[in-house]
Chains A and B, each alone.
Chain A
């Protein structure tokens, strides 16, 4: 039994892996479906509602979010009905009001023909996320599910929902990995490096110490992250020398070592 199935998007046939989210297939084949809260390495969440499609052939017909729609043989959807456009317009208007300072949201909305919102703009004073957060939850899920750090989470509910550290206090478990910033679709998060300290400005100014490269002296990664990574995969040949180097120096030294070994002059490496 093969786990490949045929699915149809706007009547065109595509191959898919049985059970994978339809949004994946669309992205792989450059079929345009807007989405804010989907990330392949995380479980589908279905929060932003932007990825709506209309199921014509499948277990459940009608409008549904394509990030939570599992592919099965013969599944057929369309992405651009008038009904979908209508819903999308409202959603974009809501996002424009929720994240009034986000250029990303403005651009995205404009691509789908939405240029203004009828809702009140939610400009918040002293917002740690610069009035750009759409509460998609990607940062929270990455921090919890991928990094297993559990630094940030949703706080409160409804209109007042925020994302931050508990009690809005600086965190002592933050690794300083910046994964939250990488994954944020609206670039809402602020993180600054000041010589040996990384300041997670959005997360209650949590400070994380950075590690210095033993060779070039550059601060290259948070101490705590480095420890965690080291404990997970120590270098294959347990070469202590490589341990405290930044990635660039490590690359250089590893290459040098390799050439010397090939040339049969391994003893020179120590210098």
Chain B
């Protein structure tokens, strides 16, 4: 954790306690995830309790609480995507990447990272483009109408199966 960087982020917000989401977002952008140390530090600095900050960080699926792989794959589990086979898409991605099935963490967040830290997989609730269901997001790119047979091709764009 880079305290100086967090200080810089905090100084951007003139009333930090009301801007918590923005602060967390900025930290995640820099560090890719929110470490325990970072949350504690923010809590001390802006006077919002640690438990409250942790609560907010676990509420939004957007926030990662564990170190992440180089590419983040988010599989939408919203209603529209669910009925159009999101579960199978997720299962197949897990199969292709060789990451465990039932390994969600105690905070209830589903988050898996491959051993080589190349990919992380999580789930999300509706990206707002349900007409393209099922939807998968990799880093900042949205893939719609995803079919199971397309998955290897998509993953290859991010260096899957090179080794």
In the complex, chain A residues whose CB is within 8 Å of the CB of B11: none
In the complex, chain B residues whose CB is within 8 Å of the CB of A160: 108
Q: Are B50 and A150 in contact (CB under 8 A)?
A: yes
Q: Which of B15-53 contact A (CB under 8 A)?
A: 36, 39, 49-53
In the complex, chain A residues whose CB is within 8 Å of the CB of B108: 155-157, 160-162
> Does B5 sit at the interface, judged by CB under 8 A?
no
Nearest residue, chain B, Cβ from A151: B51
> Does B54 sit at the interface, judged by CB under 8 A?
yes
Q: Are B58 and A156 in contact (CB under 8 A)?
A: yes
Max chain A CB contacts within 10 Å: which of B39, B51, B52?
B51
Minimum distance in angstroms from B51 CB to a CB of chain A: 4
> Does B59 sit at the interface, judged by CB under 8 A?
yes
Bound: A155/B109 CA distance, A: 10
Bound: A162/B109 CA distance, A: 12
Which of A18-26, A50-58, A64-72, A164-172 has 4 or more CB atoms under 8 Å from chain B? A164-172
Q: Are B49 and A167 in contact (CB under 8 A)?
A: no
Q: Are B59 and A156 in contact (CB under 8 A)?
A: yes
Nearest residue, chain B, Cβ from A161: B108
> Does A184 sit at the interface, judged by CB under 8 A?
no
Q: Which of B39, B55, B106 contacts A154 (CB 8 A)?
A: B55
Chain A interface residue count, Cβ-Cβ cutoff 8 angstroms: 18
Bound: A161/B107 CA distance, A: 8
In the complex, chain B residues whose CB is within 8 Å of the CB of A155: 54-55, 58, 107-108
Bound: A151/B51 CA distance, A: 6
Interface size of B as a range: 10 to 19
Q: Are A153 and B109 in contact (CB under 8 A)?
A: no
Q: Are A144 and B106 in contact (CB under 8 A)?
A: no
Q: Are A165 and B51 in contact (CB under 8 A)?
A: yes
> Does A136 sit at the interface, judged by CB under 8 A?
no
In the complex, chain B residues whose CB is within 8 Å of the CB of A167: 36, 54, 107
Q: Are B54 and A166 in contact (CB under 8 A)?
A: yes
In the complex, chain A residues whose CB is within 8 Å of the CB of B107: 155-156, 162, 167-168
Q: Are A144 and B49 in contact (CB under 8 A)?
A: yes
In the complex, chain B residues whose CB is within 8 Å of the CB of A152: 51
Nearest residue, chain A, Cβ from B40: A166
Nearest residue, chain B, Cβ from A168: B106
Q: Which of A150, A157, A171, A173 contacts B58 (CB 8 A)?
A: A157
Q: Are A153 and B55 in contact (CB under 8 A)?
A: yes
In the complex, chain B residues whose CB is within 8 Å of the CB of A156: 58-59, 107-109
Bound: A165/B109 CA distance, A: 16
Q: Are B52 and A153 in contact (CB under 8 A)?
A: yes
Minimum distance in angstroms from B70 CB to a CB of chain A: 25
Q: A157-B58, A167-B107 given. 20 additional CB < 8 A pairs?
A: A150-B49, A150-B50, A150-B51, A151-B51, A153-B49, A153-B55, A154-B59, A155-B55, A155-B58, A155-B108, A156-B58, A156-B109, A157-B108, A166-B51, A166-B53, A167-B36, A167-B54, A168-B106, A168-B107, A173-B49
Q: Are B59 and A157 in contact (CB under 8 A)?
A: yes
